[in-house]
Amino acid sequence: MILILAMALDALFGEPKAVWDRLPHPAVLMGRLVGWCDRRFNRGAALRAKGVIVAAGLLFTGLVLGWLIHAIPDHGLLELLTLAILIAQKSLVEHVRAVAGALRRSVVEGRQAVAMIVGRDTTEMTGPDIARAAIESAAENLSDGVVAPIFWYLLLGLPGILAYKLVNTADSMIGHLTPKYREFGWASARLDDLLNLIPARLTALLIALTHGWVDPAPILRDAPKHRSPNAGWPESALAPVLNVALSGPRSYNGIRKHYPWVWPEGRRDPGPEDIDAAANALWRVWAALLAVAVLVALA
């Protein structure tokens, strides 16, 4: 029942600006913890070993924090609010739709909006590049920000979702193949890959089923080609249901990367209406997850 209420709270209110202008968001607090670990331990020798200890420590911290909250008498309201905050459905949809609205006004505004949700170079993006980036972000963050947190909550309760979110935050901050983080962030990146292994594939299944797509062949064909072991699954499911080719060439730090296309048969000129269709797909998956939560509560 708590999960059902939390999903409803998030869908209705998202992340109220008036609240988080006055209080530090839990994601910010998690980021501060990861940042402290980075400053404290990412120096000297044995960086990979230190990174392994940090990743394990973050996982353990999330588990213990969840167990401590469970130990509080009458902790139901605190658990409800924590869960609602850690599920990012409405904020994800809002960020995705913002790109569609900006792109309708101009390519320049579209670039500015999509730069808020992707890490690639945006200064020379065309309209289709912007739309494709927004759709890919929708697919990947549906898995990371909605399906995976709910999955780990259903499996391990509050300790599961808190541990997952801490590791996921570490991956986003230090899990990069750069000289600074290649060794120190290796364990956080690999642990995040492991924790997202099932949720990413579950997300692909939910996208396909909620759109009546019953042919697994293109998903099984394209997902393994993706540069990420997990992000390719929701992308390779969303691409055919929208009939839009995803992935493909893009630039990072001024370097052009020629990644293979996901659903190369699809259109290569997506626009704002396709971003809106992706946002609608997010709500379809959310509704399916809510149905699962109801069934679990009834059981």
Q: What is the pLDDT of residues 10-60, one digit of tens each?
A: 999 998 887 888 888 899 999 999 999 999 999 999 999 999 999 999 999
pLDDT at 219: 97
Q: What's the pLDDT band for 282 if we cut at 50, 70, 90?
A: very high
Q: What's the whole-number mean pLDDT along residues 200-225?
A: 96
Domain count of the chain? 1
Q: Report CA-CA distances (Å) from 194 to 1, 94, 119.
A: 28, 28, 22
Q: What is the pLDDT of residues 70-120, one digit of tens each?
A: 999 999 999 999 999 999 999 999 999 999 999 999 999 999 999 999 989
pLDDT at 22: 85
Token couple for 151: 């999955």
Q: What's the whole-number mean pLDDT along residues 234-260?
A: 93
pLDDT at 136: 97
| Whether pLDDT at 2 is above 90 | yes
pLDDT at 52: 98
Task: For residue 60, give the amino acid letter.
Answer: F
Q: What's the pLDDT band for 1 if we cut at 50, 70, 90?
A: confident
Coil, strand or helix: which one is 267? strand
Q: How far apart are CA 12 and CA 81, in angstroms?
A: 13
Q: How far apart are CA 50 and CA 183, in angstroms?
A: 9
Nearest to 58 by CA among 33, 82, 38, 41: 33
Task: For residue 201, give the amino acid letter.
Answer: R
DSSP string, 70-84: HHSTT-HHHHHHHHH
Q: How far apart are CA 181 and CA 257, in angstroms?
A: 20
Pairing of strands 255-262, 246-252: antiparallel
DSSP string, 84-132: HHH--HHHHHHHHHHHHHHHHH-HHHHHHHHTTT--S--TT--HHHHHH
Domain that holds residue 158: 2-298
Q: Which residues of 33-66 are buried (b: 16+ CB within 10 A; e: fewer)?
A: bbeebbeebbeeeebeebbbebbeebbebbbebb
Q: What is the pLDDT of residues 187-208, one digit of tens each?
A: 999 999 999 999 999 999 999 9
pLDDT at 17: 81
Q: What does the mean pLDDT of the chain come to?
A: 95
Which of 253 and 271 is assigned the larger pLDDT?
271
Q: What is the pLDDT of residues 123-178, one digit of tens each?
A: 999 999 999 999 999 999 999 999 999 999 999 999 999 999 999 999 999 999 89
